[in-house]
A = this chain, B = another copy of it.
Amino acid sequence: MNLKELSELLNLSQTTVSRALNGFPEVSERTRERVQKAAKQNNYAPNKAARGLATGQALSIGHVISTTNQNEMVNPVFGDFVAGVGEVYSKHGYKMLLSIVPPGEDEYQVYREFKAQSTVDAVVVQSPSVDDGRIEFLNKLGIPFIVHGRASECKVPYAWLDVNNRSAFVRATDFLHDLGHRRIALLNGREHMDFAHRRQQGYESSLSSHGIEIDPSIMFSSDMTESYGYQRTAELLKSDNPPTAILTASIIVALGARRAVQQAGLTVGQDISIVTHDDRLSYFHNTADVPMFTATKSSVREAGQRLAELLIQMIANPNMEPPTELLEVELTIGNSTGPAPTN
């Protein structure tokens, strides 16, 4: 069923039917209702390509995922983020267009194609690095975009939505300090990732403000896998001057850390305290009566929802200032922390 057929069926012109469906005021309420009813009955919906061609809008938003620059790894946060974003897209009639960049191929080429083919109306930039080149590139290319996170070294204005990673890790470190911990290890994400950079700043800033010297030998950065958490923690525990507390960048890393602690015959929350950042992944509710981990919490799914709303506003209103939004975390106390052991 296409417009022509539907309009013939209704004995109306295509124009009138189109206007009726798109909510134009020049059509009487009676006709509109008649049209809408017929459309529903016949399962009519405008052909996406034709509509896109006519309006110049793609009604799609692009997400480009490259795994080449992170050891082929898919960010475990990805699923929940996408779920949040996608819900909002649906409500506004947008489709999400996911492009996976095969290993060895060029992410920028995907954007160029997006532009040339006008496949998308806008783009979401995920996992920005400290000096992410995509921001400048997309600005030049002229595709509207919003960044999930920020790029510290980028000085031009751009739209972003981020968690306050710095303050989160200041608070987490302060909290451990208040419990008497003086030697606190950091298991961070990869160092060129902007979020990791900011978390490290927060960690260092807290330590400094308490007059504790920063010790690079207990600070690590890597892809956030379970085995990373396990191995670094195991090494730390065997070292001459082991930490009494560990700060990890994700629940998955924290699990690895916990495994190492338990394997060493120690108890998490007594011998060793762990604080982690928690993205509230849906398959990982850290929300028992007393949660497993003390954590800086921030729902990546809700972040996705909010980010999508901002982006859709930007599309509707191309001349607006690039919106920015900083989300604060909750620091919630769980079973993984306790006073520093006295010995």
Q: Which of A1, A74, A83, A283 has the most CB of B within 10 A?
A: A283
The answer to whether B96 and A95 have CB atoms under 8 Å apart is: no
Q: Give Cα A44 to B116, complex, Å.
A: 6
The answer to whether B96 and A288 have CB atoms under 8 Å apart is: no
User: Within 8 Å of chain B (Cβ to Cβ): is A16?
Assistant: no
Residues in B neighbouring A71, C-beta threshold 8 A:
282
A32-52 contacts to B, CB under 8 A, are 43-52
Q: Give Cα A91 to B95, complex, Å.
A: 21
User: Within 8 Å of chain B (Cβ to Cβ): is A97?
Assistant: yes
User: Within 8 Å of chain B (Cβ to Cβ): is A235?
Assistant: no
The answer to whether B46 and A49 have CB atoms under 8 Å apart is: no
Q: Give Cα A90 to B102, complex, Å.
A: 7
Number of residues of chain A lying within 8 A (CB) of chain B: 69
User: Within 8 Å of chain B (Cβ to Cβ): is A162?
Assistant: no
User: Within 8 Å of chain B (Cβ to Cβ): is A273?
Assistant: no
9-residue interface stretch from A170-178, A221-229, A237-245, A319-327:
A221-229
The answer to whether A113 and B45 have CB atoms under 8 Å apart is: yes
The answer to whether B117 and A48 have CB atoms under 8 Å apart is: yes
* Partner pick for A86 among B47, B79, B99, B285, CB 8 A cutoff: B99
What 9 A-B pairs come out closest when comparing CB atoms? A86-B100, A49-B52, A45-B116, A74-B79, A49-B53, A48-B117, A73-B282, A262-B262, A78-B79
Would you give 18 A-B contacts (Cβ < 8 Å), ordered by A?
A: A43-B112, A45-B116, A45-B117, A48-B117, A49-B53, A49-B118, A65-B86, A67-B83, A72-B282, A76-B283, A78-B78, A83-B100, A86-B100, A87-B102, A225-B283, A225-B285, A230-B292, A259-B262
